[in-house]
Structure 1
Amino acid sequence: MATLYNDYDTDLDSYSSVSGKCSTSASSATTATQSEDENASVSKPLVRMSDELKKFRRLWWDQGNLHPKADWDNVKLPYLLAESITFEEYERRGDMFNVHGCWEWRNGKVIIIELPSDPHEICISSISRELMHRCGSVIQTDAEIYGLGSIRTRVGGSGKEADASFSPEKPDVTSPNGRDGNNKPWPNIVIEVAYSETVQHVMDKVQNYWLHPNRAHDVIVVKINPVPRGQVPMRMRAWHFCVSDGRLPNGTVPARNMFEFGTQDEFGNALNIQQGARIISIQLDCLYHDLLPNIQIPRKTLPDPIELDFFFVQRAIFRMTKFYSSLCILPTDGTHLANEP
């Protein structure tokens, strides 16, 4: 039976590139109206759950059904969805129900780390489009950068999927060091977008999994503060990590860059960003890290660095969330059909 999973029960809302740790922002400590839990603007943690609520939430695992009676708007993440599950069954159901980037597998447990939402999906798509657009001149060449999507990875008792990932053609690695637990090479660029997911959880995943030595080279993290369904997000932040910057004494990779790109900062001050003002730069040596030896980095074809402009990411999120609600679930009892011809 599914229960609350409390390994990351405290949601800390800021991340220090100096210490590599999450901490509560000064504004949330001094302002009574702001909660330490970033998700408090949408929902509050559940203290007790009825057997009926657990049953309806379990339907996502059993049937791929995000049932309206599961009260997903008020779930506290991470959430334990199923136990005693093999990695193969986790893969099978993820593919069967088209669940990617929302679940992860850990020592037989299937854990919900994110819920489907328009801001989450639009952000992933927009960043991916920015990168592929900047690399458009090498499409269909030997130096093409391939979009790997939310490709599934496994290390020992842990299985995770990035929200998006990218890589040139790379040689196989020595088993069992590959992303599949065998010899498949890891992607060079990983994108993680957190909406329902907390800053603490996504940063733990980035530092202890994706940026573990000999895995991903660069990771872009976005945190979108959740808002009530149908509203447009106001606070959005981005971080860029690159293993070329070395590691801090605690073993974490420092953030190369961090910026706000929403319409409000953590203190509620208005932001009005312009094109070219919020850039993440990826060097070609990082993008093409560990390239196949017979392929040359296209230094005369691509700009160095590749610049991703988050002005366009913000614009996509704002424009598209005006037209679509974050999560549309139809009743299963047929009542939504009552007035149809």
Structure 2
Amino acid sequence: MIFLIVKNGFGHSHPPYTPRSTLRSTSVEAEEVFAEFSSTVMENDVINEANEEEEKWWTELTYKNIDENRLPLRLTKNAKLDEYIEKSEIADAGKFWNFDSGNVTVIELPNPDHEVAHTQFTRQFLSPFSNLAILDDVDNIAGTTCISGTSAKQPDAAFVPIRLPKPSPNPFANTQSLTSIFQKVNEFWLQQNRAEDVIVLKLWPWDGTRSPNGIPLRRLTCYEFCRRLSRHLRSGYRPIQCIEFGTIDSRQRSINNCSAQGMCTLEISPACIYAGCPGTPPYPLTNNVSIDLYNIQQAIFRKM
């Protein structure tokens, strides 16, 4: 899942890059995280071609059972943009498909644990705005398609400040593979005049194992990119922070740094949310929007 903090206004001064230092028990250093992203991209840069049965999701607009190991899966190579928009709306598949230069590719499959993670994030994001004046609130726009040139991408939801003169989705949410995430962060979302920050919730595959207490042993990771703070090399933007909020880490070792509320939180500043809005600062929202990753973890585990 990807949540983007999109900025509608530039020219502000920004501090230089300073890597965040966090406890090793709750975070992974940026260099280590980047190495993980890079190796994933190199190992998985293969798009499978849909067979006759899989193509029916595009031709007949009804979802067929598809093996997750087949992703990313190209449904067609010759689609028109208008055709993609129409079919993705009818099939309610925009958040599972990507459109790039005529290619329609499946990047994720309908999955209940992804849906509850998105719902829990949305609920926590909107909660701090409940007591603000109407003009200081944010609108929740679902199913908005972002079109840029020959590409079209649809989020699960978009949150837009009401006072923003020309609304720009803020943030987006989307579910996809880690390879697709890394490519979109670097090639689409962090390009000029798009996203300011990118927050990625990665729900890693689960092999069905549980602890003696019945708790799922699954890796869940929150990555954060920032256009101002992330180093950009030829290989792409580097994540500035990584929070493991599951019950195992990248080496399949048990961890307990997200075993209660308040242990793993993601803070989103009002300056990022209201970027580009007239009359700010001061900001209508004085405190950070705090996302408790434990609540998202528990929502996912309830669906497993």
Same-fold call, TM > 0.5? Answer: yes
| Alignment partners' CA distance in 1, 2:180 and 2:241 | 19
Match of 2:173 in 1: 191
* Residue identity matched to 1:202: I
Q: CA deviation at 1:249?
A: 3.8
Match of 1:242 in 2: 226
**Secondary structure of 1:317 counterpart:** helix
Match of 1:17 in 2: 30
| Alignment partners' CA distance in 2, 1:191 and 1:88 | 22
1:313 to 289, 296, 301: 296
Match of 1:6 in 2: none
* Residue identity matched to 1:81: L
**RCO comparison, higher one (Cα < 8 Å, 6+):** 2
| Alignment partners' CA distance in 2, 1:46 and 1:95 | 24
Q: CA deviation at 1:285?
A: 0.8
* Residue identity matched to 2:274: Y
The residue correspondences of 1:189-268 to structure 2 (distance < 5 A) are 189-194=171-176, 197=177, 199-227=178-206, 234-245=218-229, 247-250=231-234, 252-268=236-252
| Alignment partners' CA distance in 2, 1:254 and 1:135 | 31
**Secondary structure of 1:189 counterpart:** coil
Q: CA deviation at 1:228?
A: 5.5
Q: Is the 8 A contact 2:204 2:220 kept in 1?
A: yes
The residue correspondences of 1:1-341 to structure 2 (distance < 5 A) are 17-18=30-31, 20=34, 22-24=37-39, 54-68=51-65, 72-73=66-67, 75-138=69-132, 141-169=134-162, 170-172=164-166, 185-194=167-176, 197=177, 199-227=178-206, 234-245=218-229, 247-250=231-234, 252-272=236-256, 273=258, 274-291=260-277, 293=278, 296=280, 299=283, 302-319=285-302, 321-322=303-304
Change (3 A) 1:124 1:243: same
Change (3 A) 1:46 1:252: closer
| Alignment partners' CA distance in 2, 1:144 and 1:288 | 10
* Residue identity matched to 2:155: A
| Alignment partners' CA distance in 2, 1:235 and 1:264 | 5
Q: Is the 8 A contact 1:105 1:158 kept in 2?
A: yes
| Alignment partners' CA distance in 2, 1:67 and 1:192 | 21
Cα-to-partner distance string for 1:41-62 (whole Å, 9 max, x where unaligned): xxxx999x8xxx8221111112
Change (3 A) 1:233 1:56: farther
Q: Is the 8 A contact 2:155 2:173 kept in 1?
A: yes
| Alignment partners' CA distance in 2, 1:92 and 1:228 | 36
| Alignment partners' CA distance in 2, 1:149 and 1:105 | 18
Q: CA deviation at 1:245?
A: 2.0
Q: TM-score normalised to the size of structure 1?
A: 0.69
Q: Is the 8 A contact 1:281 1:305 kept in 2?
A: yes
Q: CA deviation at 1:186?
A: 2.9
- The count of corresponding residues between Structure 1 and Structure 2 is 264
* Residue identity matched to 1:155: S
Q: Is the 8 A contact 2:219 2:245 kept in 1?
A: yes
Q: Which runs of 4+ in 1 moved over 6 A?
A: none
Q: CA deviation at 1:110?
A: 0.8
**Secondary structure of 2:134 counterpart:** coil
Q: Is the 8 A contact 1:223 1:238 kept in 2?
A: yes
Give 5+ residue unaligned stretches, structure 1. Answer: 1-14, 26-35, 38-44, 173-184, 323-341
Cα-to-partner distance string for 1:161-206 (whole Å, 9 max, x where unaligned): 233332213223xxxxxxxxxxxx4323233444xx2x12211112
**Secondary structure of 2:266 counterpart:** strand
Identity across aligned pairs (percent)?
26
Q: CA deviation at 1:267?
A: 1.8
| Alignment partners' CA distance in 1, 2:141 and 2:209 | 30
Match of 1:3 in 2: none
Cα-to-partner distance string for 1:126-169 (whole Å, 9 max, x where unaligned): 1111101133223x610111222342111111111233332213
Q: Is the 8 A contact 2:274 2:280 kept in 1?
A: no
Q: CA deviation at 1:233?
A: 6.5
Q: Is the 8 A contact 1:190 1:218 kept in 2?
A: no
Q: Is the 8 A contact 1:241 1:254 kept in 2?
A: yes
Change (3 A) 1:63 1:228: farther
Please identify the structure whose Cα radius of gyration is greater.
Answer: 1
Give 5+ residue unaligned stretches, structure 2. Answer: 1-27, 211-215
**Secondary structure of 2:225 counterpart:** strand
| Alignment partners' CA distance in 1, 2:47 and 2:170 | 38
Q: CA deviation at 1:305?
A: 1.8
Q: Is the 8 A contact 1:166 1:187 kept in 2?
A: yes
**Secondary structure of 1:165 counterpart:** strand
Q: Is the 8 A contact 2:47 2:72 kept in 1?
A: no
| Alignment partners' CA distance in 1, 2:123 and 2:266 | 14
Q: Is the 8 A contact 2:68 2:109 kept in 1?
A: no
* Residue identity matched to 2:241: N
Q: TM-score normalised to the size of structure 2?
A: 0.76
